[in-house]
Each structure stands twice: as C-alpha cells, then as structure tokens.
A and B are shown apart, each in its own frame.
Chain A
Amino acid sequence: MRIEKAMLVFKKDWREIRRNWQVILPIVVVPLMISVFLPVVLTVIPSLAATPGTSVSGFEALMQNLPSHVQEQLAGMTEMQVMIYVMALYFFAPFFLIIPLMASSVIASDSFAGEKERKTIEALLATPISDGELFLGKTLVSFIPSMAVTIISFVIYSIVFDLLAFSIFNGALLLPTLDWLLLIFALAPTVALASIGLTVMVSAKVKGFREAQQISAVLLIPVLALVFGQVTGAIIFGPIVISALIGIFAVIDFAIFRIGVKMFKREEILSKLA
C-alpha cells in the first residue's frame, strides 16, 4: 500500500469538492447548526434572559444517571449553573458524533457513485493505483474534511460555552475536558471511519449518488441511538464508555477496510456504469 497514491486520490477529489458549493454547504452548515445554533438557542439565550428555558426539569433522567462524583459537584451549584454544566458537558456530547457523519455523508456517497455518474471512473480504474490505495484515498477525502469541521466545531462550541460559563462560574472554564478530548480526537474519528468506510463500499456497489446516500442514511441510526441514549440518561459518555466505544469502533474500522478492499471489484464497478 502506497500512502502517497491514496493521498493523490485525496488531493484530486478535494480539489474538485472545494469547487462545488452543493457539497461544501452541508459540510459547513450542519456543524454550525450543532456547534453554535443549537447551544445558543437551547442554552445561552434562555440563561442570559433567565427565561423558563433555564429549568433543569427537561433532563432529569440524564442527571439521575450521571456518575456520583458529578452529582456531588452539581449539588453545590445554582439551577442555572447546573443547566449550563449538564448541557455543555453531557447533553450535546453525542451530537459531535453526528457532525463527522453528516459532513462526510455527501462526499462518501459521491466517492465512486459520483465518478460513475460523471463517467470519469473508467480512466481512474485504468491507472496503476491499487484497490487498497483507491479505497483509502476515497475514504480519506471524506474523513479529513469531516474531522476538520468536527474539530473546528468543537473549538467554536468550547468558546461559546466558556464565554457563557466565565461569568456564571466565576471565571471557571468548562471545556475542554478529558472526556471531550477523547470524544473528539478518538471516538469521533473511529465512528466516522466506520461510517465512511461502509458508505464508500456502498458507493462502489450502486449505480448512482442518490442510491448511495439513501442507503448510507441508515448508518446514522446507531449513532442516533447513542444520542438518544445520552439524552434519556440510558448511556452516559464517561471515560469508560468512550474508551470502550473507541476500542469497538477501531476493530470495526479495521474489519470494514479489509472487507471493503476485498469487495472492491473494478469489473463490477464498470458493469454499473450508467
């Protein structure tokens, strides 16, 4: 496997993507919605205006399942501090697993299916770039931008909440924490790689981009389950849960890459040309 060949495919695709606003727009808008718009609407505005939105009654189930040392910490806080603390550190955490998935979904679905639709795939398949290098290149072109926007979103999200917390927590900053660093820099990449790998596999198998995107939308379901699990308090994203998920997804990533390369058949791709 020659990494430089995979990077060559990445560079070529990224050059094309960055000139296409239809692809760039969802990559930018979805993270902004999750990292700025939702926190501002659900937390910052109600807390600053001291509206009824400041109530913690909405996530009692989540609070009850927080680790005991966190609950002890919360006991000494005002209601507004509790709300901001829980929102910032726990409620929005799993949403950051959705960002790389949403951001990568368009690019990953387009990876091979788009080349088939635009009839550029045959010349690409005729090059002396191996199956593994092509598969990795197509994965990287979805992975690198989606992780970049996830990290940028995390930075913005941290700034938004720290600005708010600075006055409310008497100069203390809430983010980043170890859990969040693990989530953003280890769990989010492994979850993203699994989703991207599967979507790229689907993209190689189907005839067109829309088909690939419809099928890959199903991949959001397990991640949405994690989101609802956290919101309802069924799963709490603590260090143990995050580490366990990183391990599980790392194994899944490896398996998906191996299977993806094995299932990559140039002949089958050409037979699906429009």
Chain B
Amino acid sequence: MAIIEVEGLTKTFGSHVAVDRLNFEVEEGEVFGLLGPNGAGKTTTVRMLACLISASGGSAKVGGHKIGENPLEVRQTVGILTESPSLYERLTAYENMDFFAEAYNLLDPQEKAVRIRELLEFFDLWERRNDKVAGFSKGMKQKLAIARALVHKPPVLFLDEPTAGLDPEAAKEVRDLMEMLSRREKHTILLCTHHLEDAEKLCDRVMMISRGKSVVVGTPDELRERIAGSPTVQITLKKLNSEIIEAVKKVNQVEQVNADESASTLTVTLDDAQSGTPEVVRKIVEANGLVLGVNILRPSLEEAYLKLIKEEQK
C-alpha cells in the first residue's frame, strides 16, 4: 500500500520551474531515494511533501493526508531531517529532543523519556545528553538531528542529504545507523541525496531527477543495467591466443569481446551474464585455455548516474 502518492507535483518560482510534474509512489516500509545533482529539485519536493511550501500544481498524499488540505496532520505524520541539522545549540541534546517530542505531541512524560533515551542510546549520544549541542561534532549533530526526526515514531521519514558535509568516517557511521534503523523500526523513508553510496546502500528504489524532472525510476540494480548497460565478464587466462578469442565469439549470447593479450584477459559483453558465463568458460576450456579467474563486472550506480547527468546536460 502506497503511503506517499505524488501526482504531477510541480513547483515554480517565478518563471523558474524547480519541480516539473513529478509522479511517484512510495510503499509502506520502503526506502525510496531521490537522486540528483544540486539544484535538481529534491529539497523543494521534500518541502512540498512536508507542507513547508505550497505546490504550484499537481497533488500529493502523505499517510493518507492531502498536502494542501491537512498541513498539521501531514506534519504530524512525517519526521524530517532538513539540509542543515536545525538544532538549538544553546540547548542540550536532551532539551532539543524534549522540545521536539512535545512539539510532535508526544506528551506522556514516561513514554517521552523512554523514547528519548532509546534514541539517544541507539545513536550513542546518551552519555552526552546533558551537553550543549554547540560543543558537538558535525557527525554528532547529524545523528542527533536524525534522532529528533524519529522522536514521535513517524510512519514517514524525510531525510534530506543525511551524509552531506560529513567526513567519510562520520558519513559511514550515519549510513550504517540509518540502515540498521530502517530495518529495525520499518519506517517509510524518502531519502534525498546526491551521494550514490547512500542510495546504493539504503534504497529499495531510486528516482533519478534532473532539473526538476523525473528521469528514471527503479531499483539500484535496474537503474545500473538500464542506464549503464549489462554487466560484463572479465576472464583471466594463463595464456591468451586467437583460437580462444574466436571460440568465445561463436557463443550465441556474446555481444562483444575485447581481448588484452598482454594481460591475458578477455572482457566479454553478454545478453545475460548469469546464464551466458558458464558457456563462455566451457568454450575456452574446449579451446585448451587455462582459466585463472572469472569476474562479473557490474556497472556502478555512479556510472549510471554520471551517464544520465551527461545526457541531460546535452
């Protein structure tokens, strides 16, 4: 069942179209990525869905609430991590959590205290709960901001660039925690990112957007194959000769063969790498080739993304 339904969502600022007729649905419990370069319209989309800004056209429902009609209900349904952590630096970590818990109507003192403790412990911030946020590192602030977004157990979570501006170590920690969290608490997550690692590691499906338009939607694997092409198979041999190359070319599923005789490797493009690879290896063996290794090389999401952005720019 779709918990986020977006139909023709559009946002214009004067003559500039920031979001152009977006259509997508996010299923309950799904981690859905909005992937695109800076200025693609990701943050504007999230702001419209969180009822922070109005849509110029189209419609959307979040948790069954229409965004234009029930802004308070929509805001209660979502937890949001904004582009900057948006934390009160003169308040302690606990005070920040406490304020947002009450703002999101988590009013029972015991329930509130348990939830805050649970999240601060999960994000390894419990020992620092009474410290002012001003003294926190960027990574700690980001973790606290994510904890804050989760405080009222929202069915839908919007995460806008959760690893932006973090050093690789902190980014990995935040990413790992989010992965654990999405498995543990089963939130529906809409993740905006231009970091492919985030999308690849966390998302069930990804929508690539460019200049406000949806370019392609699918699982990370589908996008890799659809945009960057099929996987290729790299075969390393003890010795490569023309007889072996000709034998491989004769396999039905083979589309292209690139031979590097100096490195004794063959790079073979197949219709279907999964089913075609055993046949290729058999032909090499029949041609008296000695196979040292076989690697299926999948195009990365990064390659797909860069190819897409290049095409869009053209």
Q: Interface on A for B, CB 8 Å cutoff?
A: 5, 8, 11-12, 15-16, 19-20, 118-130, 266-267, 270
Contacts and interface: CB of A to CB of B under 8 A. Distances in A.
29 contacts: A5-B103, A8-B99, A8-B102, A8-B103, A15-B90, A15-B95, A16-B88, A16-B90, A19-B90, A20-B90, A119-B84, A120-B86, A120-B87, A122-B82, A122-B84, A126-B75, A126-B80, A127-B100, A127-B103, A128-B72, A128-B76, A128-B104, A128-B105, A129-B103, A266-B52, A267-B52, A267-B53, A270-B47, A270-B52
B255 interface: no
Contact of B100 (A19, A123, A266): A123
B103 A128 contact: yes
A266 B53 contact: yes
Contacts of A128: 72-73, 75-76, 103-105
Q: Which of A8, A122, A126 has the most CB of B within 10 A?
A: A126
B54 interface: yes
Nearest to B79: A126
A15 B52 contact: no
A129 B80 CA distance: 14
A25 B137 CA distance: 30
Contact of A270 (B53, B80, B90, B99): B53
A119 B84 CA distance: 7
A126 B62 CA distance: 14
Interface residues of B, number: 30
A126 B50 contact: yes
A127 B104 contact: yes
Nearest to B134: A19
Contacts of A16: 88, 90-91
B25 interface: no
Contact of B52 (A5, A12, A119, A126): A126
Given A120-B87, A128-B75, 11 more contacts: A8-B99, A8-B102, A8-B103, A15-B91, A118-B89, A122-B52, A122-B83, A126-B50, A126-B82, A127-B103, A267-B52
A209 to B, nearest CB: 15
B61 interface: no
A120 B88 contact: yes
Contacts of B52: 122, 125-126, 266-267, 270
Nearest to A9: B103
Contacts of A8: 99, 102-103
B148 interface: yes
Contacts of B87: 120, 123
Interface in B130-148: 145, 148
A2 to B, nearest CB: 10
B244 to A, nearest CB: 61
Interface in B68-124: 72-73, 75-76, 78, 80, 82-84, 86-91, 95, 99-100, 102-105
B104 A122 contact: no
Contacts of A266: 51-53
A122 B75 CA distance: 12
A5 B72 CA distance: 13
Contacts of B47: 270
Contacts of B75: 126-128
Interface string B2-21: 00000000000000000000
B186 to A, nearest CB: 22
Given A125-B52, A267-B53, A12 B84 contact: no
A130 B91 contact: no
Q: What 8 pairs across the A-B complex have the smallest Cβ distances?
A: A123-B86, A127-B103, A267-B53, A128-B75, A122-B82, A128-B76, A119-B84, A16-B90
Contacts of B148: 123
B90 A12 contact: no
Nearest to B132: A19
B285 to A, nearest CB: 62
B53 A12 contact: no
A118 B134 CA distance: 11
B90 A124 contact: no
Contacts of A129: 103
Q: Which of A20, A128, A129 has the most CB of B within 10 A?
A: A128
Contacts of B99: 8, 11-12
